[in-house]
């Protein structure tokens, strides 16, 4: 991780006529982080990114890159440090893939091995192909490659894997992780919850132009997904709090992170958050049940995200 702030957005607002697209967004992204922005269509995600990069002028609020850079007032300096791939990206149909890579590489602060970039992103075989001849997936791969070709300090990626097949998506994920390891900060707008869960250190959920929740993916799962559920066999037929095998439900219920513990259909069912699985495993070990087979069901980010949107309980929005 870096030591500074790559992106700071404070009180950002943007209207289109009578419609408010972004309504008081605050976001801070430290250097070296992959930060995700999630939300339904029309929630203001893309407008936020466009204002952050300087493509749109905000109505009020402040955007700063790397502490001092104003993307509106200093576009030339920003272009040398920041890469961007947007949903509506396009290139001239007759422009060849190799020409596009060369053009974007010329903006880099250092020499770029264009042949290596082409190979890294699986574009070597399409070097002489025109943009107009590329499939949707090939175009998307090219756009992400162009955003990262100059190894920017910060990159905005908006729906970067739309149109890619599952194998290509995972390859792009690996490449983005490698770019971050080399020092690039990533702001990722995505509809794919598995993508956010795999890549992001933190995520913000936007609804109606506002950030309604912000946390790590695991933190959002704990807060809105109901936590992790564990079941294991119980021989208690009498309903006692300590069953026939000596499993102490009251003791389990007092473990750190445990939300509830009870019996369901002849099994012990425990639900908890955070690192409660470690505490539960230790408890079973010291009480003589180290060989107990656990069935673990962890709710994913997608379930937590859907539950958050459905609940209407948005604490950050209310504040």
CATH number (domain holding residue 175)? 3.40.50.300
- Specify the pLDDT at position 235: 60
Whether residue 67 is found in the same domain as residue 193: yes
Whether residue 254 is found in the same domain as residue 212: no
Domain end residue (candidates: 167, 192, 221): 221
Whether residue 149 is found in the same domain as residue 232: no
- Identify whether the C-beta of residue 35 lies closer than 8 Å to the C-beta of residue 187: yes
What's 292's DSSP letter? P
Tell me which residue of 137, 147, 134, 65 sits closest to 101, measured CA to CA: 147
Domain end residue (candidates: 192, 221, 250): 221
Write out the residue range of the structural domain in which residue 188 sits: 5-221
Estimate the crossing angle of helix 136-148 against helix 166-181, to 10 degrees: 0
Whether residue 101 is found in the same domain as residue 33: yes
**Contacts of the segment 178-184: beta carbons below 8 A, 24+ positions apart:** 179/148, 179/151, 179/155, 180/32, 180/34, 182/151, 183/2, 183/31, 183/32, 183/151, 183/153, 184/148, 184/151, 184/152, 184/153, 184/154, 184/155
Does residue 313 sit within a domain? no
Whether residue 231 is found in the same domain as residue 206: no
CA 249 → CA 237, 238, 265, 280, distances in Å?
14, 14, 15, 11
- Identify whether the C-beta of residue 273 lies closer than 8 Å to the C-beta of residue 227: yes
Low-confidence ranges of the chain (pLDDT < 50): 236-244, 317-319
- Specify the pLDDT at position 164: 85
Tell me how crowded residue 56 is: count the other CB atoms within 10 A of its CB: 19
Tell me how crowded residue 238 is: count the other CB atoms within 10 A of its CB: 7
Token pair 């795999």 in the structure block, residue: 198
Domain harbouring 256, CATH code: 3.30.70
Whether residue 232 is found in the same domain as residue 200: no
Token pair 């008081």 in the structure block, residue: 24
Q: Report how far residue 82's alpha carbon sits from residue 76's, in angstroms, rounded to the nearest whole number.
A: 10
Q: Report how far residue 6's alpha carbon sits from residue 66's, in angstroms, rounded to the nearest whole number.
A: 4
pTM for this model (two decimals): 0.80
Whether residue 199 is found in the same domain as residue 51: yes
Does residue 309 sit within a domain? no
Tell me how crowded residue 185 is: count the other CB atoms within 10 A of its CB: 27
- Specify the pLDDT at position 240: 46
Whether residue 45 is found in the same domain as residue 113: yes
Does residue 304 sit within a domain? no
Whether residue 38 is found in the same domain as residue 166: yes
Whether residue 75 is found in the same domain as residue 51: yes
What's 310's DSSP letter? H
Q: Is 33 helix (H, G, I), strand (E, B) or coil?
A: coil
- Specify the pLDDT at position 2: 56
Does residue 314 sit within a domain? no
Whether residue 237 is found in the same domain as residue 210: no
Q: Report how far residue 38's alpha carbon sits from residue 193's, in angstroms, rounded to the nearest whole number.
A: 8
How many structural domains are present in the chain?
2
Does residue 174 sit within a domain? yes
Report CA dihedral (302, 307, 309, 311) to the nearest 10 degrees.
Answer: -170
177 Cβ contact partners less than 8 Å away, ≥ 6 residues apart: 34, 199
Whether residue 183 is found in the same domain as residue 197: yes
Does residue 263 sit within a domain? yes
Domain end residue (candidates: 174, 204, 221): 221
């Amino acid at each position: 991780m870096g030591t500074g702030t790559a992106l700071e957005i404070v009180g950002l607002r943007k209207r289109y006529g009578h419609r408010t697209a972004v309504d008081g967004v605050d976001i801070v992204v430290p250097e070296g982080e992959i930060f995700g922005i999630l939300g339904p269509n029309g929630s203001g995600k893309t407008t936020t990114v466009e204002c952050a990069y300087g493509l749109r002028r905000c109505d009020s609020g402040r955007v700063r890159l790397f502490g001092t850079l104003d993307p509106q007032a200093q576009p030339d300096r920003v272009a040398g440090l920041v890469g961007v791939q947007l949903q509506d990206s396009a290139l001239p149909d007759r422009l060849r893939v190799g020409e596009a890579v060369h053009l974007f590489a010329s903006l880099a602060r250092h020499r770029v091995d264009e042949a290596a970039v082409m190979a890294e992103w699986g574009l070597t075989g399409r070097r002489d192909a025109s943009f107009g001849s590329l499939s949707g997936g090939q175009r998307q791969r090219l756009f992400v490659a162009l955003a990262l070709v100059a190894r920017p300090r910060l990159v905005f990626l908006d729906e970067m894997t739309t149109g890619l097949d599952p194998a290509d998506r995972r390859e792009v994920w690996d490449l983005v992780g490698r770019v971050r390891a080399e020092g690039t900060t990533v702001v990722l707008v995505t509809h794919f919850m598995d993508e956010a869960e795999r890549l992001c250190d933190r995520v913000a959920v936007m609804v109606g132009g506002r950030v309604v929740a912000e946390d790590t993916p695991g933190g959002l799962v704990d807060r809105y997904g109901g936590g992790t559920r564990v079941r294991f066999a119980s021989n208690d037929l009498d309903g006692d709090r300590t069953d026939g095998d000596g499993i102490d439900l009251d003791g389990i219920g007092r473990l750190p992170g445990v939300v509830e513990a009870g019996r369901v259909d002849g099994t012990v069912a425990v639900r908890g958050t955070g690192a409660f699985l470690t505490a539960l495993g230790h408890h079973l070990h010291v009480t003589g049940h180290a060989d107990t087979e656990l069935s673990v069901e962890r709710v994913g980010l997608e379930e937590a995200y859907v539950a958050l949107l459905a609940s209407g309980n948005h604490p950050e929005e209310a504040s």
